[in-house]
């Protein structure tokens, strides 16, 4: 028998009706043994997530203000679910203790974590499964960094004692029991950590989309879904802005070789996207997906004979390090070196950065080109297929897009191009039309 760990996001648990969908999904497959819930999310676009209400309670408590208004909303959300499903988990006492501690302890992490805690209690009751509190099992150091190995030992030991259980997402504690959370969206990370600890065969991540899309639906109308993607490809795509999964959620399961299946609670029959360690076969189109975003700047440094000057690159990067900005790409020519970085980060240190480059490298010229967008075309098949780059550049040429930078990662499954911000959408659609679906149209015509 195999083991599946299923994580459900906030929109999958936003009200009683969603709770019932979750139960149905869990009971459909006996292998689904451990479930990691988020806190109830938005029921409609005008609604507020329970986690946001709790952060608001904390903000008010920290300012010694009354928390009654947001806390009443948290109470109402939980009571509504409990009442509609006839669940008795002693909510009233739990809520009054939580309220008292939010006011007294003034800990943001404690306040925020209570959404997952209460949701987990309700779900465990609905399923008749054990409830495991992650405090003391998901372990953080005092800087709020997950201690992966201590967590693995504590969690795996605990999970062995339960046949089926609910483990709330998003939080854990320090070694001395103080509540800590991951960053926002962190229940994905809990799910991954639990999957590793349970030595699961599969980590299901249930959300409100049926997997990853091959391109941003705000740019391309009805883009196709990605059926299968490797961890590496996903890293490349999510780094460039495609986000469904918290990025720290990949490492624990990747390490253990556990596949992740992104599924939709509202469309449970859809197979979603499966993220696997190694691909079986190549994607038909030669590429897996396209992602990118606007707002980069290129600092182009020119100096004759730069290529022969020992330590030139190091000095440029030293300037960046001293100014506290990290770079995204470093395309170089014989006498030029370009540093590509987010425009916003550069804006804050622009003068100092330029000054340091001048002092450290004595260049012939420095130019800054703002308003650039980067687009990553990702596909594990690229390495073994001829002509991908030429098709890509042709597509952009035919669409009248001027390419300002080209960078092919050494992994050879990613070609990154830089274009002007205003040509970003045209470029993404042109690449999509060439590799994935030639009849696709822009999202907004
Ligand atoms: N409830 C938390 C948040 O809203 C964590 C999560 O949903 O994964 O960020």
Q: Closest ligand 1 atom to the C-alpha of 185?
A: 8
Phi, psi angle pair for 296, to nearest 5° = -110, 160
pLDDT in tens, 235-256: 888 776 666 788 788 889 998 9
Segment of 249-258, 400-409, 431-440 carrying the highest mean pLDDT: 431-440
Residues whose CB falls within 8 Å of the CB of residue 251, separated by 6 or more in sequence, listed in order: 192
* Mean pLDDT (whole number) for 406-414: 77
pLDDT in tens, 56-65: 999 999 999 9
Confidence at residue 164, expressed as pLDDT on a 0 to 100 scale:
98
Burial category of 442 from C-beta neighbours within 10 Å (exposed 0-12, middle 13-18, buried 19 and up)? middle
Confidence at residue 294, expressed as pLDDT on a 0 to 100 scale:
94
Over 70: is that where the pLDDT of 139 sits? Answer: yes
- Which pair of structure tokens corresponds to residue 96? 């009054």
Span from the CA of 444 to the centroid of ligand 1 (angstroms): 31
Over 70: is that where the pLDDT of 439 sits? Answer: yes
Confidence at residue 410, expressed as pLDDT on a 0 to 100 scale:
62
Confidence at residue 285, expressed as pLDDT on a 0 to 100 scale:
63
**289-435 domain in CATH 3.30.70.1140?**
no
Span from the CA of 312 to the centroid of ligand 1 (angstroms): 44
Confidence at residue 320, expressed as pLDDT on a 0 to 100 scale:
95
Going from the C-alpha of 337 to that of each of 268, 305, 307, 374, the distances in angstroms are 50, 12, 9, 17
4-208 CATH: 3.40.1160.10
pTM for the whole structure: 0.86
Confidence at residue 292, expressed as pLDDT on a 0 to 100 scale:
93
pLDDT in tens, 312-348: 999 999 999 999 999 988 888 889 999 999 999 999 9
Cβ of 185 closer than 6 Å to ligand 1, yes or no, is: yes
* Mean pLDDT (whole number) for 101-109: 97
Give the residue, by CA position, lying nearest to ligand 1 atom 8.
185
Indicate the domain borders of the chain: 4-208, 289-435
- Which pair of structure tokens corresponds to residue 72? 């009443």
Span from the CA of 272 to the centroid of ligand 1 (angstroms): 21
Cβ of 223 closer than 6 Å to ligand 1, yes or no, is: no
Confidence at residue 333, expressed as pLDDT on a 0 to 100 scale:
83
* Mean pLDDT (whole number) for 387-400: 92
Cβ of 168 closer than 6 Å to ligand 1, yes or no, is: no
């Amino acid at each position: 028998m195999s083991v599946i760990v299923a994580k459900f996001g906030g929109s999958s648990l936003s009200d009683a009706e969603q709770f019932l969908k979750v139960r149905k999904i869990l009971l459909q497959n006996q292998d689904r043994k451990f479930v990691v819930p988020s806190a109830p999310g938005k029921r409609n676009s005008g609604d507020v997530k329970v986690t946001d209400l709790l952060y608001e309670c904390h903000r008010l408590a920290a300012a010694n203000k009354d928390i009654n208004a947001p806390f009443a909303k948290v109470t109402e959300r939980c009571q509504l679910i409990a009442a509609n499903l006839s669940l008795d988990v002693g909510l009233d006492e739990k809520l009054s203790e939580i309220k008292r501690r939010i006011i007294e302890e003034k800990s943001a992490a404690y306040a925020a974590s209570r959404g997952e805690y209460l949701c987990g209690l309700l779900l465990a009751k609905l399923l008749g499964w054990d409830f495991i509190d992650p405090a003391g099992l998901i372990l953080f150091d005092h800087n709020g960094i997950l201690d992966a190995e201590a967590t693995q030992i504590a969690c795996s030991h605990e999970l062995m004692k339960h046949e089926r259980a609910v483990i709330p997402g998003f939080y854990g504690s320090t070694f001395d029991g103080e509540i800590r959370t991951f960053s926002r969206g962190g229940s994905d990370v809990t799910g991954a950590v639990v999957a590793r600890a349970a030595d699961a065969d599969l980590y299901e991540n249930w959300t409100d989309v049926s997997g990853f899309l091959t391109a941003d639906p705000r740019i391309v109308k009805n883009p196709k879904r990605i059926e299968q993607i490797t961890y590496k490809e996903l890293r490349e795509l999510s780094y460039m802005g495609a986000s469904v999964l918290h990025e720290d959620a990949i490492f624990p399961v990747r390490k253990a070789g556990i596949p992740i299946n992104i599924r939709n609670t509202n469309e449970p029959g859809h197979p979603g996207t499966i993220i696997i360690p190694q691909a079986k076969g190549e994607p038909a189109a030669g590429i897996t997906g396209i992602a990118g975003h606007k707002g980069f700047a290129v600092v182009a440094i020119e100096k004759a004979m730069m290529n022969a000057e020992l330590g030139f690159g190091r000095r440029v990067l030293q300037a960046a390090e001293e100014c506290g900005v990290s770079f995204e790409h470093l395309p170089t020519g014989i006498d030029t070196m370009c540093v590509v970085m987010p425009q916003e980060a550069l804006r804050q240190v622009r003068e100092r950065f330029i000054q340091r480059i001048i002092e450290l490298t004595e260049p012939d010229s420095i130019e800054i080109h703002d308003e650039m967008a980067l687009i990553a075309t990702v596909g594990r098949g690229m390495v073994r297929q001829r002509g991908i780059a030429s098709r890509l550049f042709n597509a952009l040429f035919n669409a009248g897009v001027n390419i300002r930078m080209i960078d092919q990662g050494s992994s050879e499954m990613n070609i990154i191009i830089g274009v002007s911000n205003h040509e970003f959408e045209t470029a993404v659609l042109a690449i999509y039309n060439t590799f994935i679906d030639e009849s696709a149209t822009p999202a907004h015509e």
